[in-house]
A and B are shown apart, each in its own frame.
Chain A
Amino acid sequence: MLHDFSYHRPSSMKEALDFLAQNGPKTAVFSGGTDLFVVIRAGVAKPAHVLDLKGIPELGKISWDKTEGLSVGACVTINTLTEYPAVREHFPVLRSAGEELATFQLRNRATMVGNVVTASPCGDMGSPLMVLGGEVVLASSSGERRMPLSEFITGVKRTLIRPDEVVSRIVVPPTWAGAVGGYHKLKRIKGHDLGVVAVAMVRKENTIRCAISSAAPTPVLLPDLAATSSVEDVQKKAQSMISPIDDVRCTKEYRSFMVDIFIKRLMKELEAAA
């Protein structure tokens, strides 16, 4: 059962941003709703307004060019993303992570931008976007700003977004295009589950990049490492940066252990693929 809110569906960016300039703090922005309506139903969020972005054509766009890279609008669903030819060609890590997110049905609704804005430590798109150097584009009636995802997410469900802003799109620069990559996620069942712990990794030329989810308040991005690094070195670096917890899903001991396992498996996998 949902509490009462008023529903708005603007048809232009300007309309949406003007609305947020007026009502931002009392408004929840809505595209897929796969997180939003769970928290509203649970009584955790009680927005007075729900602003549906799906009427704004430009937010449904996904595009690729060699200069800017990949641009994914706020309303682009995970299934659209994973099926997009440029994603398949240039950013296999995004596809790998996208296909691990929830179920096919939910991926028809859930968006990459929503997954990132929710900023859950176990969100599936945070760590793969971080290894690719993904950037969020924030829009408000006073203009646009842009920042790396690693700066944008500041804590558990905390980001630098202002109440008058939306993340209009995420840009993945071409730097890591063509990198082989993979995403390994520990789940409790083979069907859909949150990530109990997960590791994203890419490898291009002589560098590997690795980020870890569900092992700290935010996804953890490791500094770039030489592809020749030993598995133990990468594991050691990872362990020095994560701070996993005990909870009903897992102990911190097993989370730490599985981070090492996933690093080992990914390094082997990416070496073979490279």
Chain B
Amino acid sequence: MLDQIPASELKHVGKQTRRIDAVEKITGDATYVSDMILPGMLYARVKTSPHARAKILSIDTSAASAMPGVRAVVTGKDLNFKLGLYVVDKDILAREEVRHFGEAVAAVAADTLEIAQKAIDAIKVEYQELEPVLYPKEAIKDDAPLVHPDLGSYSYMEAAFTPRPGTNIANHTRLRKGDIEKGFAESEWVIEREYTNPSVQHVPMETHVAIVQWGRGDKVDIWSSAQSPFTLRNLFCVAFKLPHRNVRVQVPYIGGGFGGKAGIGIEPLVAVLSKLAGGRAVKLTATREEEFSLLPCRSQLTYNIKTGVSKDGKILAQQMTMYWDSGAYADYAVNVTRASGYSAGGPYEIPNATVDAYTIYTNKPFGTAYRGFGHVEFFWGLERHMDLVAIAIGMDPVNFRLKNTLKPGSLTLTGEKITSHTGDIDACLKTAAERIGYGGITKEEEALAAKTGRKIGKSVVGLHKAPAMPPFTATAVIIKMNEDGTVTANISLTDYGQGTYTAVAQMIAERLRFPMERVKVAFECDTDRDPYDWQTVASKGLLMSGNAAILAADDLLKNAYGDAAQILRANVVDMDHDAEGIFVRHRPEEKVTFRQLAIGYVYPNGNGIGGPLVGVGRYIAQGLTHLNKETGQGHPALDWTYGAHGMIVAVDDETGEYDVLKVVSVFDAGRVINPDAFRGQAIGGMLQGLGTATVEGYIYDNRGHLLNPSFTDNKIPTSRDLPFEVEAIGIECPQLDGPYGARGIGEHSMISVAAALGNAIQHATGAQVTHMPLRYEDVWRAINRKEPVDNWITRSPFGSCKSNPEIGKYQCD
């Protein structure tokens, strides 16, 4: 909506705008749950499993319970509630069996954190270790031990998922398009390869934290660092069978999420402790180490791609098989599988395709949503594969891509027809290529190569993603005018760093014709105060909440114009407004100000009309459908945001060391609402992607112990790891149903960055790396055709842990 308004007619939309939350965040004034202390609040700690898979023989909590200051002690035996977003498979605390290293088996609430920790240390758990299920491709064999023998008894969302009882398969997403056999038969070349990535951690600055108070009459207050207050409330109420009106979720400022705080996490456990402690508020703050294994991670993926190509370089057939390692619980991984399944071919037209994407249970920390929702993982394989195919058939990789991109009239894997307003992937690829000087080497690059002896490599990769969400996803925005003519908007989409609230404020200001200073979007969310929003995920917030905000502003204006029409005794069609008020167009001196209208207009004699001005905007996704479970056909996509990255690297081909000289990120944003926020998202996501590409990743020993659950050995990039030069460019092919034509880009900036790195390194050195991350050693091994390091599970029974005293005892007990 409003997509055709030219930029020259816009005052706020499309203009550089300071973030509305900048001052409080920079100064430290913003309050996070981590900062909060409630009167009488208790502190919780958790006992976690040192084993990947074990029977719990006994738990002795007597010493813990007897400690002065301990107010509640709980184990799985006491808790008969199952949790789960899509497959209801998780206990609040492990019962009978632990399914991953770091899983919670007992918890304590006490007067102080120190007492709570002492009580946890005093809890004795007796385990009988079992053989863990660790390798996804082995876990789907018939004789594999079962992570969830009771899978058949779990409830699940039947419209979308297909758990297979008696196996470790939590879901199988199937897609069939065209005739794959015919496609391969007609192909000149058929090229197949497998690509893998490890699990990684989101690493939000604020770790998971919640305060819960279970009050009298089962009224429950929850304060949580959570992305989706309403989904949290809903899942909580379903688990505890409470009416929704009993539960209030409040979310103040959030210190990052990246998908890791999307669903429900530690809140039910904290709630149980509060109830046991007689209704006192209880706070649980995850330690950084707990983030790595008590809380979920991003699933690891093995992606096999087999591509058939015609003589002239057109993709005719593609067989795609994904093995998603869900870890111990299905959580979001089943939906990551689904969303990746229907998107698996990338922004390319593939006439004959099959996708079989499996979500597989193993005995590892479980996977959840993570920026990109599967796309970062599978685009690593896909865009490496596009280069492999191009090189193999003797075509330039960028030309090969351009020949195969989705164009107006193309059908996606699910049979959706691409139109001229879907976006322009060709423009993204071409712009990225141009901005890195693809196909040539500049004088400066040549000089650098001569001086350092390093080899220059350049790559261009494409990407796309649609929001992964139910077809009926909805949101609402309420705008209330204050006494002085300023407005406050309430919204329960959260802003945990993306800048969406600033964009929403810009759109409200634009629509109302107000200066930004008169628009507030209330930061703290509260399910008792704010209107519903499904979840803050999927890069759908700008589009959906933006539309709802525009509709809410229009609704407020409609109410204001209605009052003004009476006051000015004029027809609404003859009226107009400016920042100050509403006037009659042909007699502008006949005017009533917003200030006069704000809480109801008062005549000189004291009569009043109208009433407080509010505007309500509701928005629901339009025209989307469930996908057919056999063929994957249907309409899953609210919008497709296309993008591309161009990258230049300089590689030492003797040692595998490299520098990223430049990254250019291009996204078809439809319309860039706030150029600063666009750049922030583009660079932030790119660097996060580069982190997973260069160094991040879980490493296990062959008993399933996580060997690097801390920043000591799970490094993330720092400001020094930024490429030497970074560019972010917006293409603006408007989305007809996007607010002012806009689409989301929040996740897209992270997608395909790893493949860009892998491809650029290959172009520089010939190194063929098919596993992320690309540490210097991995590049060195690939250059020298040495066997790759087994990145996921080291070969020795206790990993490297025993031989490495730097790793603390919490890492392998």
Name A residues whose Cβ lies closer than 8 Å to a Cβ of B: 1, 4, 38-39, 42-44, 120, 122, 156-157, 186, 188-194, 245-251, 253-254, 257-258, 261
Name B residues whose Cβ lies closer than 8 Å to a Cβ of A: 113-114, 117, 287, 654-655, 694-695, 699, 707-708, 712-713, 715-721, 775-777, 780-781, 786, 789, 794, 799-800, 803-810
Instruction: Decide: A261 and B804 in contact? CB cutoff 8 A.
Output: no
Instruction: Decide: B721 and A254 in contact? CB cutoff 8 A.
Output: no
Instruction: Decide: A248 and B713 in contact? CB cutoff 8 A.
Output: yes
Instruction: Decide: B715 and A193 in contact? CB cutoff 8 A.
Output: yes
Give chain B nearest CB distance to A122 CB in angstroms.
7
Contact sample, A vs B, 30 pairs, CB 8 Å cutoff: A1-B113, A1-B114, A39-B808, A43-B809, A43-B810, A44-B809, A120-B806, A156-B805, A188-B695, A188-B715, A189-B694, A189-B715, A191-B715, A191-B717, A191-B718, A194-B712, A245-B804, A246-B794, A246-B800, A246-B803, A248-B708, A248-B794, A248-B804, A248-B807, A249-B713, A251-B777, A253-B786, A257-B780, A261-B654, A261-B655
Give chain A nearest CB distance to B454 CB in angstroms.
13
Give 7 nearest A-B pairs by CB, closest first. Answer: A191-B718, A42-B808, A247-B800, A190-B720, A254-B777, A191-B720, A247-B804
Most chain-B Cβ atoms within 10 A of its Cβ — which of A191, A192, A248, A257?
A: A248
Instruction: Decide: B789 and A251 in contact? CB cutoff 8 A.
Output: yes
Which residues of the partner chain B approach A43 to less than 8 Å between Cβ atoms?
808-810
Give chain B nearest CB distance to A188 CB in angstroms.
5
How far is A4 from B118 in the complex, measured between Cα atoms in Å?
11
| With A1-B114, A188-B775: A157-B805 Cβ-Cβ less than 8 Å | yes
Instruction: Decide: B114 and A4 in contact? CB cutoff 8 A.
Output: yes
How far is A175 from B781 in the complex, measured between Cα atoms in Å?
42
Beta-carbon nearest neighbor of A156 in chain B: B805
How far is A219 from B787 in the complex, measured between Cα atoms in Å?
29
Given contacts A191-B715, A248-B804, 10 further A-B contacts (CB under 8 A): A43-B809, A44-B809, A120-B806, A189-B721, A191-B719, A194-B806, A246-B803, A248-B699, A248-B713, A261-B654
Instruction: Decide: B721 and A191 in contact? CB cutoff 8 A.
Output: yes
How far is A251 from B789 in the complex, measured between Cα atoms in Å?
8
Which residues of the partner chain A approach B716 to less than 8 Å between Cβ atoms?
189
How far is A254 from B113 in the complex, measured between Cα atoms in Å?
43
Which residues of the partner chain B approach A120 to less than 8 Å between Cβ atoms?
805-806
Give chain B nearest CB distance to A252 CB in angstroms.
10
Which residues of the partner chain A approach B720 to less than 8 Å between Cβ atoms?
189-191
Checking A42, A191, A248, A254 against B809 with a beta-carbon cut-off of 8 angstroms, the contacting residue is A42
Checking B655, B721, B806, B809 against A122 with a beta-carbon cut-off of 8 angstroms, the contacting residue is B806
Most chain-A Cβ atoms within 10 A of its Cβ — which of B287, B654, B776, B809?
A: B776
Beta-carbon nearest neighbor of A39 in chain B: B808
Give chain A nearest CB distance to B689 CB in angstroms.
14
Instruction: Decide: B804 and A192 in contact? CB cutoff 8 A.
Output: no
Beta-carbon nearest neighbor of B807 in chain A: A248
Beta-carbon nearest neighbor of A38 in chain B: B808
Which residues of the partner chain B approach A258 to less than 8 Å between Cβ atoms?
655
Beta-carbon nearest neighbor of A247 in chain B: B800
Give chain A nearest CB distance to B800 CB in angstroms.
4
Give chain B nearest CB distance to A124 CB in angstroms.
13
Beta-carbon nearest neighbor of A190 in chain B: B720
Which residues of the partner chain B approach A193 to less than 8 Å between Cβ atoms?
715
How far is A58 from B776 in the complex, measured between Cα atoms in Å?
44
Give chain A nearest CB distance to B802 CB in angstroms.
10
How far is A210 from B117 in the complex, measured between Cα atoms in Å?
47
Which residues of the partner chain A approach B781 to less than 8 Å between Cβ atoms?
254
How far is A248 from B794 in the complex, measured between Cα atoms in Å?
8
Instruction: Decide: A245 and B800 in contact? CB cutoff 8 A.
Output: yes
Instruction: Decide: B707 and A248 in contact? CB cutoff 8 A.
Output: yes
Instruction: Decide: B803 and A189 in contact? CB cutoff 8 A.
Output: no
Give chain B nearest CB distance to A242 CB in angstroms.
15
Which residues of the partner chain A approach B713 to less than 8 Å between Cβ atoms?
248-249
Which residues of the partner chain A approach B775 to less than 8 Å between Cβ atoms?
188
Give chain A nearest CB distance to B715 CB in angstroms.
5
How far is A39 from B582 in the complex, measured between Cα atoms in Å?
67
Give chain B nearest CB distance to A61 CB in angstroms.
31
Checking A42, A157, A194 against B810 with a beta-carbon cut-off of 8 angstroms, the contacting residue is A42
How far is A248 from B712 in the complex, measured between Cα atoms in Å?
11
Beta-carbon nearest neighbor of A214 in chain B: B806
Instruction: Decide: B717 and A189 in contact? CB cutoff 8 A.
Output: yes
Which residues of the partner chain A approach B717 to less than 8 Å between Cβ atoms?
189, 191
How far is A249 from B807 in the complex, measured between Cα atoms in Å?
11
Instruction: Decide: A248 and B718 in contact? CB cutoff 8 A.
Output: no
How far is A246 from B795 in the complex, measured between Cα atoms in Å?
11
Beta-carbon nearest neighbor of B802 in chain A: A247
Instruction: Decide: B805 and A192 in contact? CB cutoff 8 A.
Output: no
Give chain B nearest CB distance to A256 CB in angstroms.
12
Give chain B nearest CB distance to A145 CB in angstroms.
27
Which residues of the partner chain B approach A191 to less than 8 Å between Cβ atoms?
715, 717-721
Beta-carbon nearest neighbor of A251 in chain B: B789
Give chain B nearest CB distance to A167 CB in angstroms.
20
